[in-house]
Structure formats: structure tokens, C-alpha cells
């Protein structure tokens, strides 16, 4: 029952854009992103997520989370209106307490390599997080939640409002039976209960 309640709280946090998702999903402000609509922003967010997870070695298993969109409130001079979209992926691989810092470090180094600006870091032992902004103005976040549940989200800047097609595949609902006990996939590396080895100098 306790786990079920926490799962419901998690999905409420995801849908509302607060709680687990945190400050990194705050609605971006500003005029519409040049030459981009919400569908294109959603596609770009998926590409960014592919790139982020593709850089994590050893690889981790993921599930697509629920998408969300919002209307930007500061488009006074834009007759077409503007909106933003958020895409998320949950890490289904167990990230042990001992490997949590290494996991965040891998993602942070990749973001910096790709020109992302780190905007804030939540230095919490149980639920750490990193927030950043891409060169295109997309906001990204990596947050560790209850029992090491990791989620990466990408939120677009304000773009031209349009219809949006969902990616293929059913998104994971944290309150559904399918999500019971996640993360639950073990990794010889990420789930190990020892500190990650320090790379040897060459």
C-alpha cells in the first residue's frame, strides 16, 4: 500500500510538472522559438533523449514517460500563439546508491560536452538532480526519485502552437500495475553495491 501511494504521488508530480520533475520543467518564457512548432519541438526532444541515453555506458533500460504540453503566456505580439512541450523517459535499470554519483556524472559530462549550460544542481543524498539548458533553449533535467528511480525530461522553449503526435508505444504510467516495483532491471555495473572504479590514467 505504501508503494502504491508513492506511485500515485509520482504520477501526480509528473503530470503537474512539480515534485519529481522539479524546477527543470518550469515553463520556458519568451517569444516563439524561430521556425519551430510544437510537433517539431517534440521530435527534437525525443532526439535529445536518444542522444543522452546513447552516451550512457553501460547502457540502461528505459521506458517512455507521459508527454505534456502547455501554453506560453507571453506571446502578446504573436497572433498564432505559442506553446511548449515536455518529453520524459524513466530509467528502469536499478541505479544503486553507490553508483548514483557516477550516473549523474556521466550525464553531466555529456551535457557539458554537447554545449549545455548547467543551471542548477540539487545536492541531496537521496534525491539529487541536475538541471541544464541546451544551446537551442531546451531545458533538461535528470532527477533521482524514490528508491533511486531516475527520470530525464526535456522541455522545449516557447514554439509555435500546433497539433502534436505522440511517439509510438504506450507511455509508462507510474501508478499502473506495469510500473509496480520499478526500477527492477539489474545491471552488473549500475546496480553494483560498490563504488564505481576510477578510470586508470593513460
- pLDDT tens series, the chain, 202 aa: 434 433 433 433 333 333 333 344 444 444 445 689 999 999 999 999 999 999 999 999 999 999 998 888 654 445 456 899 999 999 999 999 999 999 999 999 999 999 999 999 999 988 999 999 999 999 999 999 887 889 999 999 999 989 998 888 778 777 677 777 788 899 999 999 999 887 544 3
**Phi and psi (nearest 5°) for 25?**
-105, 15
Q: Where do runs of H (alpha helix) occur along 141-193?
A: none
173 secondary structure, DSSP code: -
16: CB partners within 8 A, 6+ apart: none
Q: Is 43 exposed, middle or buried (0-12, 13-18, 19+ CB in 10 A)?
A: middle
- The verdict on residue 188 lying in a domain is no
Q: With the C-alpha atoms ordered 27, 30, 36, 38, is the resulting torsion angle positive or negative?
A: positive
Q: What was the pLDDT predicted at 73?
A: 63
Count the domains in the chain.
1
In degrees, rounded to 5, the angle at the alpha carbon of residue 195 between the alpha carbons of residues 52 and 54 is 15
| Side-chain half-sphere exposure of 5, counting CA atoms within 13 A | 2
- The verdict on residue 200 lying in a domain is no
* CATH of residue 77: 3.30.2030
- The verdict on residue 91 lying in a domain is yes
Contact between 90 and 171 (Cβ < 8 Å): no
Which range of residues forms the domain containing residue 123?
A: 2-179
Cell representation of residue 127: 534525491
Q: What was the pLDDT predicted at 81?
A: 67
- The verdict on residue 86 lying in a domain is yes
Contact between 194 and 100 (Cβ < 8 Å): no
Q: What was the pLDDT predicted at 88?
A: 95
Q: What was the pLDDT predicted at 167?
A: 84
Q: What was the pLDDT predicted at 80?
A: 55
- The verdict on residue 201 lying in a domain is no
Amino acid at each position: 500500500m505504501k508503494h502504491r501511494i508513492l506511485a500515485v504521488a509520482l504520477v501526480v508530480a509528473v503530470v503537474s510538472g512539480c515534485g519529481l520533475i522539479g524546477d527543470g520543467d518550469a515553463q520556458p518564457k519568451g517569444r516563439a522559438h524561430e521556425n519551430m512548432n510544437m510537433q517539431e519541438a517534440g521530435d527534437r526532444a525525443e532526439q535529445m533523449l536518444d542522444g543522452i541515453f546513447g552516451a550512457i555506458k553501460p547502457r540502461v533500460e528505459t521506458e517512455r514517460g507521459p508527454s505534456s504540453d502547455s501554453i506560453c503566456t507571453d506571446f502578446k505580439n504573436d497572433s498564432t500563439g505559442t506553446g511548449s512541450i515536455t518529453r520524459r523517459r524513466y530509467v528502469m535499470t536499478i541505479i544503486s546508491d553507490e553508483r548514483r554519483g557516477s550516473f549523474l556524472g556521466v550525464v553531466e559530462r555529456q551535457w557539458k560536452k554537447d554545449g549545455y549550460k548547467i543551471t542548477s544542481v540539487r545536492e541531496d543524498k537521496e534525491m539529487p538532480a541536475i538541471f541544464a539548458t541546451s544551446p537551442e533553449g531546451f531545458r533538461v533535467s535528470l532527477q533521482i526519485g524514490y528508491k533511486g528511480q531516475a527520470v530525464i525530461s526535456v522541455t522545449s522553449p516557447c514554439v509555435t502552437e500546433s497539433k502534436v503526435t505522440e511517439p509510438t508505444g504506450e507511455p509508462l504510467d507510474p501508478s499502473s500495475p506495469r510500473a509496480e516495483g520499478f526500477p527492477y532491471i539489474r545491471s552488473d555495473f549500475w546496480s553494483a553495491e560498490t563504488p564505481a572504479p576510477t578510470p586508470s590514467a593513460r
